Amino acid sequence: MATTDIIGRNSVDWTAISDALDAEGWAVLPRLLDPSQCRELAGLYDAEDRFRSHIVMARHGFGRGEYKYFSYPLPGVVADLRSSLYPHLAPIANRWNKTMGIDVRFPDQHAEFLRRCHQAGQTRPTPLLLKYGPGDYNCLHQDLYGDHVFPLQVAVLLSEPSEDFTGGEFVMTEQRPRMQTRPMVVPLRRGDAVVFAVLNRPVMGTRGSYRVNLRHGVSKLLTGRRYTAGVIFHDAT
Ligand SMILES: O=C(O)CCC(=O)C(=O)O
Ligand SMILES: [Fe+2]
């Protein structure tokens, strides 16, 4: 996989991303969006007509803070990210599934994968905007919305750490069979995206590969406001 442009501006070294995903279960795509794109996307949060639902996390025991799922049609930048990132991630997803002995394979293009989701009744869009204020956090979780799961997802940080907010780090845990859980903190700046495993990934051991279970979340925000855009490739029931 060569270096390519995503949404026409940023070069991504997909070989390095693929290697990092294999090693850690996550990788940073630096400066995927520029500051004005970040501002514009975060600015949509109050545009009620762009969203299909609004979740107040404390009401569900998900943490503290809130998020909204976009409705179709998605904002242009979100739709572009979804369709332009997917073809680079599908080969990694297919390789992981093969290694883990999972029979499911993913098509080359996102539109084709969405057809599979929609035919199975997973028709509702999953891309979302999240908003956190002081004291807010997002409990460790996995974004599963039905039987069809694309095993990688992306989150773009839309606010600038230290300037717009403090605390509020993107964290992941990796639960390994018969071993203690590994914590990870993903360093992000505004406009950076993290691509990460939704549920499982293969890890190479001395006697072949084994499967680990991953979760992601956000540590408590201390000050300010933090916005994120989540890009999930499967749709929801
Ligand atoms: O706010 C974050 O960084 C995490 C967002 C999240 O859970 C997601 O995009 O699925
Ligand atoms: Fe999530």
Torsion of CA 151, 152, 153, 157, to 10 degrees: 150
In a domain, 87, yes or no: yes
pLDDT of amino acid 11: 79
CA angle 210–154–129, rounded 5-degree value: 135
Nearest to 213 by CA among 105, 100, 130, 104: 100
Separation between Cα atoms, residue 200 and residue 151, nearest integer Å: 7
pLDDT of amino acid 7: 61
Separation between Cα atoms, residue 35 and residue 31, nearest integer Å: 9
In a domain, 77, yes or no: yes
**What is the chain's percent helix, strand, coil content, to nearest 5?**
25, 40, 35
pLDDT of amino acid 2: 46
In a domain, 236, yes or no: no
In a domain, 36, yes or no: yes
pLDDT of amino acid 12: 86
C-alpha dist (Å) from residue 118 to 6, 51, 151, 189, 235: 25, 19, 17, 34, 7
pLDDT of amino acid 215: 98
In a domain, 237, yes or no: no
pLDDT of amino acid 1: 43
Choice from 218, 221, 232 to test ligand 1 binding pocket (greatest atom count within 8 A of CB): 218
The closest ligand to the CA of 227 turns out to be 1
pTM: 0.96
> Which residues constitute the domain of residue 41?
3-231
Centre of ligand 1 to C-alpha 109, Å, is 24
In a domain, 48, yes or no: yes
Full DSSP string of 190-207: TT-EEEEESSEEEEEETT
Provide residues with CB under 6 Å of ligand 1: 130, 138, 143, 155, 170, 216, 218, 228, 230
Separation between Cα atoms, residue 174 and residue 182, nearest integer Å: 5
Structural domain count of the chain: 1
Lookup: tokens for 197? 């495993």
Lookup: tokens for 173? 């845990």
Q: What CATH number does the domain containing 207 carry?
A: 2.60.120.620
Residues in the chain: 237
The closest ligand to the CA of 231 turns out to be 1
Low-confidence stretches of the chain (pLDDT beneath 70): 1-10
In a domain, 97, yes or no: yes
